Structure 1
Amino acid sequence: MPPPEGEPVILKPAEFTTTWSDADGGTITPRKDGTFVADKVCVAVSWYDSLAWSGTGTWEQGFNKEQSSLEVTFDAAHPDTVEREPGSYAALRQGKVLKLWTAIGDAEKAYQGAGHPVRVLCRGIASVEASAQQHSRQDPLSG
């Protein structure tokens, strides 16, 4: 299965520091200090096709010439997999919406035509822009 709709995008580190939500209500919130907190967020680990993870850890931005990625390491291993580092989330932009996505499940089945599901974490850019504009209007030094 191809990636979800959207164009690959390079994000600034500050653009990662928000709460990202998946379709099942899971969230991950990367913080400016390089830590994150996750609550039942979908993750890509080995061949598991429906795995969620809650916990804390550290994150860093990965990227190539065309696309950023969010790479996370949990403080504690997942109880089902004993791994601490799920697959990374790649960044996409669709209009005013930023997305992070990861392919999940058995890659071998994908090559055999069984499909390869993806999980998408989304947030709206418009709400971040509105918040920044409101904050700048409240700044007493901005005149």
Structure 2
Amino acid sequence: MAKRKFIPYNPKLKEYARELRNNSTQAEIFLWIKLKGKQMYGYDFHRQKPIDNYILDFFCQELMLAIEVDGYSHQFLEIYNKDTIKEKRMNELGVSVLRFTDDQVSKDMQNVIKTIEFFIEEFEKHTPNPSQEGS
């Protein structure tokens, strides 16, 4: 079995992440319903996951995939710049980021899911399956 890559996190963010989980936006709840319980091709997603000095809306360690759901406030330059810095840091850690707006999740869930499925399919094409190595 392949070892999971260790990803650092700031333990001080655990309590805040719990608060965010308990106060999710409607769009986050809608997407969580589709991701939880390994419904997405059997991959285990977590919500409001502390990684490094950030909290990711959704994260799958096996895929090294973060999914961010951006509300209205993310249109403003200051928050947009913070999102850009956060995404750059995730990429440095080997984490890919898919970003959707609240409206996309609420009004076009089918295409949001298709985008996530496409990412997973591409990941599986280019990532050796440990259970099939050496066969």
TM-score greater than 0.5 by the shorter chain: no
More helix by share: 2
Give me the TM-score of the superposition, normalised by structure 1: 0.28
- Please identify which structure carries the higher strand content: 1
Q: TM-score when scaled to structure 2?
A: 0.29
